[in-house]
Structure 1
Amino acid sequence: MQVLVIEDEADVRLNIVEILESGGFQPIDAADGRVGLAIAQSQHPDLIICDIKMPDLDGYEVLEAIRNNPSTATLPFIFLTAKTDLRELRQGMNLGADDYLTKPFRRIELLETIAARLRKHEGLRQLELQIGELQENNSHRSDVLNTITHDLRAPLTTIKVALQMMETLPDNRPQYMDIAFNACAQGDELIQNLLDLYQLEAGEMKIEPRPLDLQETFRNLYYSFKIRTENQQQQLKWDVPEVLPPMISDGISIQRVLVELLTNASKYTPTDATIAVKVRESDAQETVPRLIIQVQNQGEIAADALPRLFEKFYRVPGGDRHKHGGTGLGLTLVHRLVEQLQGRITVSSDQGWTKFKITLPCEMQ
C-alpha cells in the first residue's frame, strides 16, 4: 500500500520513510505541502501522513484541499504534531483529520496508527459498496447515504481524540470537554438537518400559518447575531423599518431561514468586514403585497460555485474562514423552506459582496 509522507524536516521525513519500508508499505515523500498536495491528487495514495506547521502551504490547507476534492475526499489523513501544538488539534479535527501522532513517536506507534486507519477506511469502503447497491434501487437515498458516513465521522473522531487527550493531559480537561461538546453539537446539527430535509422532500413537514410579530422576530435576531459578529470582529448593519406589514405565515420556518442565512454569512465574512440585513415592503402597486429580505456580506463567491449553493452537502471550497464547520445542508433547507412558504430566494455575488434575496407573500392562503 502507498503512504504519502508530507514533512518539511528532512530527518523526520526520512525516518518515517524508513519505518514505512520496514513495515511493508510503499512510501512517497514530499518536502512541502504544495508538492504533497499535487502528489495526492495525481497518485491517490492509500493514506496520507502530514505535518501541521510547514511554510507556504501548511497541513491545514493541505487537508482542506484534500477533503474538498471528490477524488481524494475520503483518503485517511494523519496529522503529525509536536506536544506544544496539541491545542491546535481541534482545528485539524474540524477539517476532517482522522488521527494524529505526537512527535517524537516510536516505530510501533506509527505502524499501529496506520493499521488502525486503514482498517477503518476499509470498513467505510465496504459500507459504501453496500450503499452503492441501495443506490441502484433508490436514487433519492443515494444523495444522503453516499455522504453521511464521511460527515458523521468528523465529529465522532473529534470526540474520540478529545477523550484521549483528557486522559493524556488531565489539566486541560475543560478545553477538551469544550471540543467534545462542540463536536456533539455538530453531529446533532447534521442529524436534525437530515431529518428536516427528509420531511420537506417527503411532504411531511407542514407549515402552520398564523399572525406574526415581525418586529419581535427581527429584534431577537439582531441581538443574537450582534453578539456573534462582535466576537468575530465583524460589523453588523441592520436596516429594518420600525413598522412592518401584518403577515400570516409560519414563524418557525421564517426564523429558521434567517438564522441559517445569518450563520452562513458569519462563516464566510472576514474579520473587520460587514454583514448587512435589509427589510422592506414591495411596491404598493403590486397585487399581492410581499416582504423582501436581503442578507448580504462582504466576500465574493466564485461564479462557478453560485449555481451549486443550494445543492445538498455542497460547501464552497476554502470559504469557512472561522473554521466553524457545517453540514452542507443549511442552504438546501433554506431553499426548500422558502418554496414551502410560497416565496422565492435568489443569490448573487459581485463587487466584493454576496447577497441573498428572499421574497415572501405577506399573507398565505
Structure 2
Amino acid sequence: MKILIIEDDDAIRFTLRDLLELHGHEVLAAADGEQGVALAARHPEFIFCDVSMPGMNGFEVIEAIHRRPEGRLVPFVFLTAKAERSDQRRGMALGADDYITKPFSEREILDAIASRTSRHRSVRERVEELVEQRRRELGAEWSHELLTPLNGMIGGLELLQLEIEAMGRTDLKVMLALVRAGAERQERLSRKLIRYFELERQREQPGESARTGVCAAESAIRRAVDRVVEESGRGSDLDVRVVPARVPLPEVFLTDAVAELVGNALKFSRPGQRICLRGVVLNGRYVIEVVDEGPGMTARERESVQPFRQFGRDKREQQGLGLGLAIARRVAEVGGGTLVLGDTPTGQGLRAAINLPLARA
C-alpha cells in the first residue's frame, strides 16, 4: 500500500516511515503541508498527517486534498498531541477518519491502517455496486426509449415496402402517420438529450453564462405553451397568465424549461384537471410557476430529482428519459436562478417554480 506521511517533526516522520516500510508499505514523506498536498497528487492509498505544522496546518491540508474528488476516497488520519484533542471535532467535520495521539505505538498505527482501509473498501465497493446497478438500469431504459420509436419506424417502412401496391389510400395514410409519429418522438428524445448535455457544458464552463443572452420571458412561455398544446391537444386544461419581463437566458432555453414543466404537469394529470401557469415579477425577480392537480411528489422524491431518473414508474407507464425536471433545473441555474418543487396550497398535485433574476437594463 502507498502511504503518505505529512509530519514536520523529523524524528516522528523517520520513525513512522521506517515502521511502515518494515511492514511492506511504499511510503511518501513530506516535511510540511504544502509538500504533502503536492505528494497527494501521486495517489496515496492512506494518509497520516500532523495537525500542528508551520505554514499550512493539518486542517488546511485535508481541505486542500478533499477539493479533488479522488482525495475524499483516501483514509485520512490525524496525528496529534494530547493538548490538541479539542480540535478533534473540527477534524472530523472536515472529513478525517480518525485521530492518533502522540506518542503512538506500532500496534495503534497498524490497527488504524487495517480498520480504516477495511471501512473505506466496504464503502467503495458499495458505491461501485450502486453505480454499476444504475448503469445497467440506465442502459436498459435508454435502449428501450431510443430504440422503440426507431423499431416502429423501421417496421412501418418495411411493411410499406412489401405491401404498398396492395394498400388502399386509407391504409397508406395510417401507416405513414405511424411512421411520422415514431420519427417525431425520436426527434423529441434526441433534442432533449442534446439540450441536456448543452446545459451541462454551460454549467461546467461558467464563463459562457455571461454570453447566453437575454430574452422576453412572456414570448418564451407562449412558445412553450403552443408546443405542449400541439403535442397534447389539451389546451383547454391550461390556465395561463403571464406578465412581460426580460430575463438573462436564451429564449430557446427558457422555452424548453417551461415546456418540460407544463408537459410534466399534463403527463401526471387527467384530462379535465386544470394546470395553472403563472409568470409574475416578485421582489425584483421573475417567477414562473406551474401548478397541477396530479398525484404530486413526496418530499423524498423532490429531493432526489436527478437526470435520467423517473418516479413512480412501477405504478404507471411512462415514456421518456427522465430528463424533464433536470433540464428545467439546469436552465434555472444557467440563468442565475433556482427551480423549487413543493406542495400546492390544496395539498394535491405539484407546484414547480423557476425563480430568475431580471435582466439588467
Q: Could you tell me the TM-score, scaled by structure 2's length?
A: 0.51
Counterpart selection for 1:213 from 211, 216, 220: 216
1:165 Cα deviation after fit: 4.5
- The equivalent residue for 1:253 is 253
1:220-239 Cα distance to aligned partner (Å, 9 max, x none): 4445555556x337421112
Aligned residue for 2:292, secondary structure, equals: strand
**Change in 2 beyond 3 A, CA 1:165/1:345:** same
CA distance, structure 1, for counterparts of residue 190 and residue 226 of structure 2: 27
Structure 1 CA distance for aligned equivalents of residues 316 and 278 of structure 2: 23
1:232 and 2:225 equivalent? no
| Per-residue CA distance 1:115-145 (angstroms, 9 max, x = gap) | xxxxxxxxxxxxxxxxxxxx99x98x94865
1:147 offset after TM fit, Å?
Answer: 4.0
Q: 1:238 to 1:232 in 2, by over 3 A?
A: closer
Q: Tell me, yes or no, if structure 1 residue 155 matches structure 2 residue 149.
A: yes
Scaled by the length of structure 1, the TM-score of the pair is: 0.51
How far off is 1:315 after superposition? 4.9
Query: Match for residue 188 of structure 1?
Result: 187
Structure 1 residue 182: Cα displacement: 1.7
Change (3 A) 1:312 1:360: same
CA shift, 1:210, in A, is: 3.2
The residue number in structure 2 matching 1:198 is 197
Matched, 1:273 2:273: yes
Conserved? CA contact 2:249–2:334, under 8 Å? no
Deviations 1:315-361 (A, max 9, x none): 5427878x7x3232222222222112111001124522211111011
Secondary structure of the 1:363 match is: coil
> Distance between the aligned counterparts of 1:227 and 1:197, measured in 2?
22
Unaligned runs of 5+ in 2: 1-127
- The separation in 2 between residues aligned to 1:259 and 1:279, in whole angstroms, is 14
Q: What residue in structure 2 maps to residue 89 of structure 1?
A: none
Question: CA deviation digits over 1:209-256, x for unaligned, max 9?
Answer: 434333333344445555556x33742111213xx3443433221112
Counterpart for residue 349 of structure 2 = 353
> Tell me, what secondary structure is at the counterpart of 2:270?
coil
Residue 342 of structure 1 corresponds to: 336
Q: Report what 1:333 is aligned to.
A: 327
1:192 counterpart letter in structure 2: R
**AA of the residue aligned to 1:210:** G
Q: Deviations over 1:140-198 (max 9, x none)?
A: x9486564223222112222332354445733122122222221222233333333333
Would you say 1:292 and 2:287 are equivalent positions?
yes
Rounded to whole Å, the distance in 2 between the matches of 1:158 and 1:235 is 30
The CA distance in 2 between the partners of 1:320 and 1:233, in whole Å, is 23
Distance change (3 Å), C-alpha of 1:292 and 1:175: same
* 1:1-365 alignment runs, 5 A limit: 142=135, 145=139, 147-166=141-160, 167=162, 170-171=167-168, 172-202=171-201, 203=204, 206-207=208-209, 208-225=211-228, 231-232=233-234, 234-241=236-243, 244-283=244-283, 289-303=284-298, 305-317=301-313, 325-349=319-343, 351-363=347-359
Letter in 1 for 2:181: N
* Percent identical residues: 16
Residue 63 of structure 1 corresponds to: none
Measure the CA separation in 2 of the matches of 1:193 and 1:212: 20
> Shift in Å at residue 271 of structure 1?
1.0
Check whether the contact 1:268–1:319 (CA below 8 A) recurs between aligned residues: no
Q: Is contact 2:261-2:290 (8 Å) kept?
A: yes
> How far apart are the structure 2 equivalents of 1:316 and 1:180?
29
Q: Which one-letter code corresponds to 2:333 in the other structure?
A: E
Question: What SS does the corresponding residue of 1:358 show, helix, strand or coil?
Answer: strand
Distance 1:165 1:269, change over 3 A: farther
Do the aligned partners of 2:306 and 2:326 also contact (CA within 8 Å) in 1? yes
Matched residue, 2:22:
none
For the Cα contact (< 8 Å) 1:300–1:354, is it kept in 2? yes
Paired AA for residue 191 in structure 2: Q
The match for 1:8 is none
Aligned residues of 1:261 and 1:295 also touching (Cα < 8 A): yes
Closer/same/farther in 2, CA of residues 313 and 165 from structure 1, 3 Å limit: farther
Counterpart of 1:257, as a letter, is A
Please give the alpha-carbon distance, in whole angstroms, between the structure 1 residues aligned to 2:353 and 2:139: 31
**Counterparts of 2:251 and 2:148, CA distance in 1:** 33
Q: In terms of mean alpha carbon deviation, does 171-180 or 246-255 score higher?
A: 246-255
Unaligned 5+ segments in structure 1 are 1-134, 284-288
1:293 deviates by 0.8
Residues 165, 364 of structure 1: alpha-carbon distance in 2 compared, 3 angstrom cutoff: farther
Whichever residue aligns with residue 310 of structure 2, its letter is Y
